């Protein structure tokens, strides 16, 4: 992810990645320790362009990914910010999502 950051503490992301199946989302965790994201200083230019890496999956039931501002202030994503999601596996839910249930009721 290429996102803005705090110039004084770029290794502490001002965004959190939530993953799961809505509405059951949890913060992205690396291993068993909840970490927001790993900061990659060699290719970052704080505060305009901070590059972070995170990993999820490994049998997790993830169909939704959310980027949450945890800085406590308004942030403008004027660019060149980006997020890339790569996948090598897929998950097909066995139960309908809340959106699918709501759609069927109409």
Q: What is the pLDDT of residue 95?
A: 77
2 close to 80: Cβ distance less than 8 angstroms: yes
Q: Is the pTM of this model over 0.85?
A: no
- For residue 86, which of 60, 53, 61 has the smallest C-alpha distance? 53
pLDDT mean values, one per 10 residues, the chain (106 residues)? 91 87 78 64 91 75 85 85 75 72 71
CB atoms within 10 A of CB 49: 17
Q: What is the pLDDT of residue 58?
A: 60
Number of domains in the chain: 1
Q: What is the pLDDT of residue 10?
A: 92
Q: What is the pLDDT of residue 51?
A: 92
Determine the structural domain holding residue 90 and report its residue range.
2-105
Strand partners, 50: 3
Q: What is the pLDDT of residue 106?
A: 61
């Amino acid at each position: 992810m290429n996102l803005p950051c705090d110039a004084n503490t770029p290794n502490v992301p001002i965004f959190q990645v939530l993953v799961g199946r809505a509405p059951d989302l949890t913060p992205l965790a690396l291993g068993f320790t909840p970490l927001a994201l790993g900061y990659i200083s060699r290719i970052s230019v704080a505060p305009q362009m901070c590059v972070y890496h995170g990993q999820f999956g490994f049998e997790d039931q993830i169909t939704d990914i959310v980027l949450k501002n945890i800085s406590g202030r308004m942030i403008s994503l004027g660019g060149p910010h980006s997020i890339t999601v790569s996948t090598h596996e897929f998950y097909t839910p066995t139960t309908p999502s809340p959106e699918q249930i709501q759609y069927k009721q109409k």
